[in-house]
Structure 1
Amino acid sequence: MSVWAEKPAESVRIDAILEAHWKEKGVQGEAIVDDQIFLRRTYLTVAGRIPSYEEAQTWLASQDVDKRNKLIEQLIESEGFVNQQFNLWADALRIRTTGRDGDVSGGKYFVPWLKNQLRANTPYNVWVREILAAEGAPWDNPASSYYLRDVGMPLDNMAITMQVFLGTQMQCAQCHDHPTDVWTRRDFYEMAAFRYAVNTRRNYGQMEPLQPLLKELQERKLDGLSDKEKKKMNADKLLNPAGRDLFRSMRWQTTRNDRKLKFPDDYQYEDVPAKSVVDPHTIFGESPDVKKLKADDRAEFYANWITSTENPRFTVVIANRVWKSVMGRGALEPIDDIRGDSQSEVPGLSEELTAIMHQVNYDLKAYYRILLETDYFQRSAVVFDSENPDSYHFTGPTLRRLSAEQLWDSYVVLLKPDIDNRPENYQDPLPPPPGPVQLLSTFTPEQMADYLDSAEKAWKERQDARTAFYRVRSDPEKADTEEYKELKQTHQAAEKKWRSYSNVSDAMMMMGEAEEQDATEDQKKKGKKPQWWERNLARAADLNSPENVDHWLRVFGQSDRDIVDNADETSTVNQALLLLNSGETNSILTEKSDPVKRAKEAKDPIKALEALTIGFLTRQPSEQEKAYLLAQWETNPKLARERMAWAMVNTQEFLFLQ
């Protein structure tokens, strides 16, 4: 029996397909869950976190017969939905804002851009096409960061594009015909020939903003040189080492060119000669005559073909990916290795999901609503046994451990219940361009040339200090010596001085274009300084991507963003130790979390317990829990509260999405 006041027709069709499957298999669908489980499940699935105490208490107390539908609508339009969606796509797209890859790829520009696409509910096919057709610098066109994630690796990027957006694994075919699928090495290279039109590295001489500066440097440096020497004076040589270092970030941009891809020297098949030029050809359907296509046309064709409604895989893959994010297991598995003979265990399910995605025109919010408003979404969770997969008949969503991001964000909301409150029409701001790029539009070419002369001295000092310090640092006998300490201090000072040349404000003062200003007393006092435990207490989507290896997120399996969908949801000893013994659990959640504060204010021990169980577990306390707390309360209320809070965080009930 349905729990909905009214269900969309598409949700009805999905439930009917599943019910027909159960009848054929001689099984029953799981029972519909109660409000408490539904509330927690929906928050974790849609908003990526548990509800706060206030949110849970208000919704559970509501007598509105249509409150489940209204909750889904509320959460899909919330900031939490944006964060949860971003986490899913950050894993799939391997988005990085840390390390060298984070710097090169322009991840810090891609992150707010993608969040804003999700927030605006830009149709999926539109924003995917935008990243596949992107060109330019990431600060001008953040979508170009997708290609910059694989700088200098166009073949790998093409294979990843096929995997993420078309659910097709072609990596093996880069070296040989695929051993278990239909793809040949020739297929791989013919598909890669489209992607080869996009380049991710530019020379200094190709950068338009640098041209006025290069012209000025040319006039200064070519005077007195022979014609032969002048010909050798390219853009790299016109710039001094400091200039090449300052403008290095400008080299990583997506551009289009007409370079031709060739089959490799070791091409081992007789269908085409090794080292011959590759003619582009799509792996599905008939390609038009693309031999004469220019770079712009090849790049556009590539983006249009992948995201076309006629592409036999594009819609299937996104419909299946979202279904898995909601229900725990794809209609087709694996979701990124779909083949010509792939079939769902539930006849017609994948086809129906694909048809619905077409029907909603790739509106992900509309598609989520349809899935969430099925009876199937509210059925009790089922354990999927990977060693006996045939025993799972889609009688209910799968029981699964929370992702690292869901755990972290649930931890955060316990301490900051209003974490998702944002102003109306909020947009993530894009960071400014790199400092040197801003300076090019601020200084005249003459000023910029003078600035590089000044920077060269600081650059050389930094290089000398670094060399001297690294030599001592690699010598175990020099550790903790006065020489080591002095060289370290000198290196740090030289590094700081050099970095100031990339800072716009510092550069303006060095060139006499601005005066140093002291912060006013009001500015110094502005804002309450957060306590130690509050620092970096933000949603996972707003932290480093990925976080440092010792962060809670990484301990619980956050993806390293090196491989597509590389998150690890298995349990480890380190996770257990973190929950059992860490300061985050012992001194923060058990003392400073919102449910514990509410429990402190409650004079009645049962009311205190309700604050804890609703706040941590989204449910009323059991009789056993009441008996335990009452026995402990008279002796030491504080210890009783802390023990209950500690125990709840360490239970499977808290750690699993049921």
Structure 2
Amino acid sequence: MKTKPTLLAGILAASMCLSASGADLRIWTNSQGRQVNASFVRIEGENVVLRTADATEHRFPLAVLTAEDQAFAKAAKAEAAPAVSANMPAAEAAKVVDTLVYNGIMSGNEDRVKSNRAPLKGFNPVSTDDHFVRRVYLDIAGRIPNFEEASTFIKSSDRNKRSKLVDMLLETDGAKTHLYNYFAEMLRVKDDFEQDNVRGTPYIGWLKEQIAKNRPWNEMVYDMITATGKMWDKKPDGTYNGAAGYLLRDSGMPLDNLANTLTVFIGTDVACAQCHDHPFADWTQRQFYEMAAFFGGTTTRLGGRDFANGDRGKVLMEEIEKMVAANPELDIRRLRNGIQNYIGANRAAVKDRGASTLKLPHDYKYKDGAPNEMVSPKFVTWSPTDTETPAYKGATDENIRTKFAQWMTHPENPRFAMTIANRLWKRAFGAGVNEPVTNIDDPSNSTNPELLKHLASEMVRVKFNLKEFMRIVYNTRAYNAEVTSENIPMGDKYYFQGPMLRRMSAEQAWDSYMTMVLDKPDTYKAPLQDLYAKSIDLNLDTVDAKTVLIKYDAFRKMAAKERALMGGSLDDVDDMMMMDKKTTRPTTTKKEDVAATDGPGKIISYEGLRLMRAAELPQPAPGGHFLTDFGQSPRNLIDGSTKIGNVPQVLMMMNGKAQKMLTSDESPILRTIEKVRDPSEKVDAMFLSILSRKPSVNEKDTAKRVLGQGEGYANMIWALINTREFMFIQ
């Protein structure tokens, strides 16, 4: 939207008192003779951007200036990015980013012309308030705003309301929940690990806790790489050792875990190099094994000598079977498998055994090594000068795994800060400066190398504070622009003239439904999982059969209670047994004991669906759930979600349980509408609750006709949530 000349007159009049100090300031005159002291920033299409002495940027049509000033602006060069100070406010830091984005847009026009696409004139126009409020809620809090949140923002006349909203949202529980969803997909977090019958509960709790504390990213990753012991071990500060879950997620698969580590944390896709030299990158198979050697002295499964020379487990099971066999009411075959799995879960622990024992594969075929040759740990480099940086020289710990963590998370590692910065940029804009985000081996091939380099330096400047980094990104002019809805041809670069038009993720769609159903969905939390850690832990070297049975009963009781609370059948409680501590006589647990709701949160259900945010539900959701149908990652691959539409989604939107919730009598949308008397305002309330905007004149007329019919409100709600506008972020 273009600024009117009358607005320029106001800007000029308000700025007349400003000093003309500063070599870059000059007097600008409009066609009405009004003048202002300001510096030239850049031209954006038909607009000119000037900065007054109070550091405020103003945009208005170039045509309102005198012919002399127009000629000066057209001849002037765009302002270079200003220097960044250590404690620069987010708004100022965002301007530096915008300068680099704008320069990238201009330099990228040559490529657009070559591909027969019209050159860009600069940033997209500034988005409307209704588009912005919906977008920023979805991007930061992971859900649409409710009626009150949307209407309050749109009505506000505060000129700083956008930056204030960003600040507010970054502090909400929703922001923490949404960031957890992102990392859970990236790290393949699951309730049930594929190996060792281990549940990821302590790992999930730890990850959520780190995000809630706004723990610096480098510290979080360092803990994940260096953690030792079991996930449920208690640390000196009373917290659980959940960080060990990162390595235990790939227990018994150290090479796969290393490939995932390099891909996720330093943007290097080297999976191919496990078996042969990489066909499209400079990575060799030997280099991969040299990196893997940093974990060559680490095990994720206790066994052998760690389990009383291997005989302890056999003796223990014999004693347990004798005790269980004494009670004919119990099915020993069914219990045997469960108890063996329960004991086996306690073998899942991270432990360092000393020096690396990793060898090259038996079929190694390259000249730089021999089959079965021992491999020494060695860091990879991207340029000849890398080894002279503090990241390489500062990694000195005697423990080779800790040494790897020191190197990888160091602020001057060539890829660590760049990778997370690029990922968070894509999270806001729909595309990374470098694509794919899993491979940044050559940053010079990115869309805007200077921008990518600067974002990495900003991540270091804010000391890996993800909240502060996101504050900068969401304050940029680029993010505040209208979305780009044009199709970007495959292989073409995107220059970030605004965010890309995107479909909601499965979690955003579900959490938006929860907003319309619950109004304030962050109120509802899943029960605490502390019982899991208490009931699963065994000391395999000292535990006796009686203790195993008592703790196993507590574990099964906890698991059944959790399933019941999260929507499972109470039949899961059947055949549970409890060992009386005094008589060691098995007894049956009552179903009503399991059905009681524990924990600090309140759980509401609708036809078997638990009404909580996606992060509070099973990880990932079971098959047939709304989240699964809408593309939630099964957490087997890094970034494994999908946003491709399909028939189950259509059926879910039209006739599913989630859709029925919105049109029930208890729907917050209907309750909001009932509070409004005027029919016209009822329609406004409905549109604001679902699309975060007021209806057009034609939409309002149509809605009034529909609302006059039977079940009009339910039909109108159904129609709005099935629109393309609802499912897309614009």
TM range, normalised to the smaller chain? 0.7 to 0.9
Tell me whether 76-85 or 599-608 shows the greater mean CA deviation.
599-608
Shift of residue 7, structure 1, vs aligned partner = 6.2
Where structure 1 has 5 or more consecutive residues not aligned to the other structure, the ranges are 208-213, 215-231, 457-491
Higher relative contact order (CA 8 A, sep 6+): 1
Matched, 1:107 2:200: yes
SS of 2:360's equivalent?
coil
User: Cα gap change, 1:116/1:384 in structure 2, threshold over 3 Å: closer, same or farther?
Assistant: farther
> Measured at CA, do residues 267 and 308 of structure 1 come closer, stay the same or move farther in structure 2, by a change above 3 Å?
same
Q: Which amino acid aligns with 1:70?
A: K
The secondary structure found in structure 2 opposite 1:22 is helix
Pick aligned residue for 1:576 from 644, 650, 656: 650
Distance 1:500 1:44, change over 3 A: same
Structure 1 pair 500/305, CA: closer, same or farther in 2 (3 Å)? Answer: farther
Secondary structure of the corresponding residue to residue 378 of structure 1: coil
Which string of whole-angstrom CA distances, capped at 9 and with x for unpartnered residues, describes residues 278-305 of structure 1? 11111124499x9xx9996111111111
2-side partners of 1:524 and 1:85: how far apart?
28
Structure 2 unmatched ranges of 5 or more? 1-48, 59-88, 110-118, 234-240, 319-335, 553-569
Give the whole-Å Cα distance in 1 for the aligned partners of 2:217 and 2:551: 46
Q: Deviations over 1:450-470 (max 9, x none)?
A: 5669999xxxxxxxxxxxxxx
Q: 1:405 aligns with which of 507, 518, 532?
A: 507
| Distance (whole Å) between structure 2 residues aligned to residue 379 and residue 591 of structure 1 | 38
Q: Specify whether residues 245 and 371 from structure 1 end up closer, same or farther in structure 2 by C-alpha distance, changes over 3 A only.
A: closer
- Which deviates further from its counterpart, 53-62 or 136-145? 53-62
Alpha-carbon distance in structure 2 between the residues aligned to 1:613 and 1:587: 17
Q: Deviations over 1:468-488 (max 9, x none)?
A: xxxxxxxxxxxxxxxxxxxxx
Does residue 500 (structure 1) correspond to residue 602 (structure 2)? The answer is no
Corresponding residue number in structure 1 for 2:296: 196
Contact 1:53–1:615, Cα closer than 8 Å, also in 2: yes
Q: Does 1:354 align with 2:426?
A: no
Task: Tell me which of 554, 559, 562 is aligned to 2:633.
Answer: 559
> Can you list the C-alpha shifts for 1:200-235, whole angstroms capped at 9, x where unaligned?
10027526xxxxxx7xxxxxxxxxxxxxxxxx9822
Which residue of the other structure, out of 343, 347, 351, is the alignment partner of 1:247? 343
**TM score, norm. by length of structure 1:** 0.81
Distance in structure 2 (CA, Å) of the matches to 1:386 and 1:102: 41
Query: CA 1:533–1:342 in structure 2 vs 1: closer, same or farther (change >3 Å)?
Result: farther
2:313 aligned with 1:236, yes or no?
A: yes
Q: Which has the higher strand share?
A: 2
In structure 2, relative to structure 1, the CA distance for the partners of 1:493 and 1:418 (3 Å cut) is closer
Tell me the CA shift for residue 632 of structure 1: 2.9
Once the two structures are TM-superposed, the CA of residue 96 in structure 1 deviates from its matched residue by 0.5
Provide the C-alpha distance between the structure 2 equivalents of 1:138 and 1:4, rounded to a whole number of angstroms: 51
Tell me if structure 2 keeps the 8 A contact 1:196–1:260: yes
Question: 1:608 matched to which residue of 2?
Answer: 682
| Worse-superposed segment, 239-248 or 147-156 | 239-248
Letter in 2 for 1:173: A
User: Residues 187 and 516 from structure 1, CA distance in 2 versus in 1: closer, same or farther, beyond 3 angstroms?
Assistant: closer
In structure 2, what is the equivalent of residue 220 of structure 1?
none
Counterpart-to-counterpart distance in 1, 2:221 and 2:106: 39
Matched-pair contact (CA < 8 Å) for 2:166–2:474:
yes
- 1:365-422 alpha-carbon deviations (Å, 9 max, x no partner): 1000001111111101113635344374321110010000000000011111122248
1:540 is the counterpart of 2:614: yes
| CA distance in 2: counterparts of 1:440 and 1:170, whole angstroms | 37
For residue 255 of structure 1, give the secondary structure of its aligned residue in structure 2. strand
Question: For 1:497-542, what per-residue CA distance to the aligned partner results, in whole angstroms no more than 9, with x for missing partners?
Answer: 4x535xxxx554763799999989xx89999984534841111111
The whole-number CA distance in structure 2 between the counterparts of 1:529 and 1:31 is 44
Q: 1:272 to 1:495 in 2, by over 3 A?
A: farther
Is the Cα–Cα contact under 8 Å of residues 185 and 641 in structure 2 kept in the other structure? yes
Matches within 5 A, 1:385-424: 385-390=487-492, 392-421=494-523
- Give the SS at the match of 2:537: helix
Residue matched to 1:475:
none
Aligned-pair CA distance for 1:66: 1.5
**What's the CA shift for 1:343?**
2.6
Counterparts of residues 109-148 of structure 1 (less than 5 Å): 109-140=202-233, 141-148=241-248
C-alpha distance 40-428 of structure 1, shift in aligned 2 (>3 A)? farther
The alignment status of 1:186 with 2:286, answered yes or no, reads yes
Q: 1:302 to 1:105 in 2, by over 3 A?
A: farther
Report the alpha carbon displacement of residue 635 of structure 1 after superposing the two structures with TM.
3.8
Q: Which residue of 1 aligns with 2:127?
A: 33
Corresponding residue number in structure 2 for 1:229: none
**2:95 corresponds to which residue?**
12
Distance change >3 Å, CA 10–CA 547, structure 1 → 2? same
Question: Which residue in the other structure is 2:697 paired with?
Answer: 623
Q: Aligned partners of 1:149, 1:593: CA distance in 2, in Å? A: 40
Q: Is the 8 A contact 2:294 2:404 kept in 1?
A: yes
Q: 1:75 aligns with which of 169, 175, 181?
A: 169
Residue identity in the other structure for 2:92: A
Is 1:320 matched up with 2:459? no
Query: Does the CA contact (< 8 Å) of 2:603 and 2:612 recur in 1?
Result: no
Letter of the 2:464 partner, please give it: Y
Q: Tell me how large the CA RMSD over aligned residues is.
A: 3.6
Deviation at 1:623, TM superposition (A): 0.9
Residue type matched to 1:642 in 2? A
Task: Check conservation: 1:555, 1:575, Cα contact below 8 A.
Answer: yes
2:366 is aligned to 269
> What is the count of residue pairs matched by the alignment?
582
Distance 1:189 1:611, change over 3 A: same
CA distance in 2, matches of 1:561, 1:93: 8
Deviation, structure 1 residue 604: 2.2
- More divergent stretch after superposition (259-268 vs 334-343): 334-343
Q: Which of 279, 284, 305 is the equivalent residue of 2:376?
A: 279
Letter in 2 for 1:59: F
Secondary structure of the residue aligned to 1:109 is: helix
> Do the aligned residues in 2 keep the contact of 1:167 with 1:313 (CA within 8 Å)?
yes
* CA separation of 1:602 and 1:4: change in aligned 2, threshold 3 A: farther
**Aligned residue identity for 2:726:** F
Alpha-carbon distance between aligned partners in 1 of 2:697 and 2:643, rounded to the nearest angstrom? 32
Residues of 1 paired with 2:675 and 2:137: CA distance? 26
Please give the TM-score of this superposition, normalised by the length of structure 2: 0.73
Distance change in 2, residues 1:515/1:118 (3 Å): same
CA 1:516 to 1:629, structure 2 compared with 1: closer, same or farther past 3 Å?
Answer: closer
Go from structure 1 to structure 2 and tell me whether the alpha carbon gap of 1:579 and 1:268 turns closer, same or farther (over 3 Å shift). same
Structure 1 position 588, deviation (Å):
3.8
